[in-house]
Chain A
Amino acid sequence: MTCPVLCGKHSVGIANVKKEIRFAIWAVTPATVAVVLLSIACFSLLFYLCFLSLPSGVSWSERQFVGFQNFTRVFSRPETLQSLFLSFAYPIIVTVGALLVGFCVALIVVNRSPRLKPIFVAAIIVPQVIPMLAAGVMWKLIFNTEFGVLNYFLANLFQVRINWLGAASPALFAVILVDIWRSSGFMGLVCLAAMEALPKELFEAASIDGANFLQQIRHIMLPLLFPVILMACILQLVASLHAFDHIFIMTTGGPGSATSLLSLAAYRIGIARGMLGEGSVYALILSILALIVSYGPIRLLRRQFK
């Protein structure tokens, strides 16, 4: 038995949705094409530079093709392996740290009274809006062994003075801490927005059924938030891979090579030392690492949406 009135309306509804989807595709196509073409062009140029000898300041016409010489030089430096390891571990540590802090802060904010909420939100946004170069200068002063406020409190409270930026491990800890401080804001905002969109009835029902706070988080909140958290982690991983500003200001990749991530090596060799070919090799390795590090989470995310 047909229902011409309702079925007709249903058909019109589907047609409208299809029309909207087509419009959306057309709307984003120009920007998508531009981004893809630009990415291909930049990556191709980077790849080409890896095979050239091109000291900075020398004109493009004086470039020389040197084959794999730049790759050989880069991988013959023992520091390269350390930079590779650091660049792999650093974004993972920062992402996990920022997620933990951001998630906890969002959990506190979502359960607070409306009057306190703006204060907490402002507190997690402030690190996001400070330019990372300025933040690096600020934290460099805070971590200063002789004059820094951190050692002032440590010395007065615990009679301890730590050589924050002059020793390898503390320096690495310091730059990771600063990145977590900054990135927690982004993670916190994403988690907060996602938490506020969750239906409260689920938690009320769970509460009635006897689930405590932690059980509600584990069995209801986290599974529902998982796609959003995963997306935020992918973005944070890629951002942390390219960390440069605050590390450059605080340690310039030192002391020694303690905080010399691939991003800093690319700058030091390519720009500061003027060896663009070798610097491009570091940048290429960093790009490949970004693809590797983000591949797993992206696959997981695709499965979520299927």
Chain B
Amino acid sequence: MKKVWLALLVIGCLGLATIAQTELPADVQAWVNNVRAKYAGVTIRVSATPHPSIEAFKAMTPEFTALTGIKVEYDEVGPVELREQHFAAHTAGTGAFDVLMTDGFWIEEYAQKGVIEPLRSYLENPELTPAWFDWEDILPAYRDTISSVKGEPYGVVTAGESRFIAYRKDLFEKYGIRPPTTTEELLEAAKFFNGREPGLYGFVSRAARGIYFASGWLHILYQFSDGWIDQKTGKVIADTPPVIESLKYWVELLRQGPPDIATYTHEEASSAFMAGKAALWFDATAIAGWLIDPAKSKVYDKVGFLPPPVGPNGWYGGLAGWNFAISSDSRNKGAAWAYIVWMTSKFNAKKYLACGGVENRVSVLQDPEVTSRNPELYSALLKTFEAAANLAKKGMKWIPPTWLSFGVLDIMGDYGNMALMGELTPEEACKRAAAELRALFGQ
């Protein structure tokens, strides 16, 4: 028995050595050697939230550490607490974290307050950023919106996402219902399936008070209106009839969901869908992988995907997601950047995807080897990006372009949740929220 264990240990070590010494292209090896010479033995800390992208990076970390000698520690908290953790660390100036997982909703605020480093000098230095990283290969929609502030890059997208619909193909086929393409059809389908079978609800999405509700409301906000804030003048328009209409619609749609949907984050919504409790799900494209993962989802082989619906105001999609950014307080900025380069490079893009990561690059979305795995998913993804591009054509951003965006989302989400609970009518909720927004902006 002892000999068996010894044999296994030797094989394991040989395996590790093999990984470490796998033949890398010459330019990659040169970069690895350079990084190893400078940063071997350094430990960096990544502040993150549980997400498929982080699971993928953790799976890729042993190879990174074996090659570069840089050790990586992950500190994970909930998405809302993550922002507070970043601000607390920045205010204290401890340099507790080196790499910050930064939501596209926060990046403008982070840049304004000096929480993260501008990246232009890193990107333009070929010694720090080799050609095989390929910044231009990152989807421009992500690169130029959620990763940049006024044209300056502050983050590298790790999990760019839009928002689309997943639906139970088996149920739609069983009852002969056409997959919805408009907001009206979506609501009708949700109402049809709600309670249609024991334990089945019509619709799930995120609806917990605060940023979760607001983030869900954004799925259809632009289908009805031009948003909560006029992006040309900066005036608050959250109490205008189109916005009220959008909230009425969203509340009615959420009411086709489980009775406790008012407490749902994206995790509960996805869990409910994966457990077969809902006919329709509307959430982040980055989570789609969970829904079709046999290890996680009971309905993995019954899921179809659809782009966001067309609404009275047009057809628009979201552009959001997560980035990796360098903390301005980091004492290991070079090592942090080396980590970001390795994990998000074009060279490792397929490996990242294979480990459960998200498609962020043009080359990946155009690769037949990738798209053939789930043609319906990728077709829906491409249509979703098309919808998202429509907003950009209007000169607008999906995330309110202000460094106070978190406060905007928190206020809209609080009052939206109260409307869902029936504490306020949608009109009252929008009026009160607009008053708070005006106070926030000093209007």
Contacts and interface: CB of A to CB of B under 8 A. Distances in A.
Q: Do A and B come from one complex?
A: yes
Interface string A116-148: 000000000000000000000000000011110
Interface string B194-216: 00000100000000111000000
Interface in B261-279: 261-263, 271-272, 275, 277
B411 A273 contact: yes
Contact of A56 (B87, B208, B209): B87
A275 B407 contact: yes
Interface stretch (A163-171, A189-197, A286-294): A163-171
Interface residues of A, number: 29
Given A73-B439, A256-B421, A272 B113 contact: no
Contact of B410 (A55, A147, A251, A268): A268
Task: Tell me the dominant secondary structure on chain A's binding face.
Answer: loop
Contacts of B260: 144-146, 163-167, 255
B307 interface: no
Contact of B259 (A167, A252, A268): A167
B411 A253 contact: no
Contacts of A50: none
A271 interface: yes
A258 interface: yes
A141 B147 CA distance: 36
Contacts of A147: 271, 275
A166 B87 contact: no
Nearest to A57: B113
Nearest to A170: B260
Nearest to B423: A256
A166 B407 contact: no
Contacts of B423: 168, 256-257
Interface string A53-66: 00111100000000
Interface string A240-268: 00000000000111111110000000001
Interface of B: 80, 84, 87, 90-91, 109, 113, 115, 199, 208-210, 258-263, 271-272, 275, 277, 404, 406-407, 410-411, 414, 417-418, 420-423, 439-440
Interface of A: 55-58, 73, 144-147, 163-168, 251-258, 268, 271-275
Given A147-B271, A255-B263, 5 more contacts: A57-B90, A163-B259, A165-B263, A252-B263, A273-B407
14 contacts: A57-B113, A57-B115, A73-B439, A146-B277, A252-B208, A254-B263, A254-B417, A255-B262, A256-B209, A256-B417, A257-B418, A258-B421, A271-B84, A273-B406
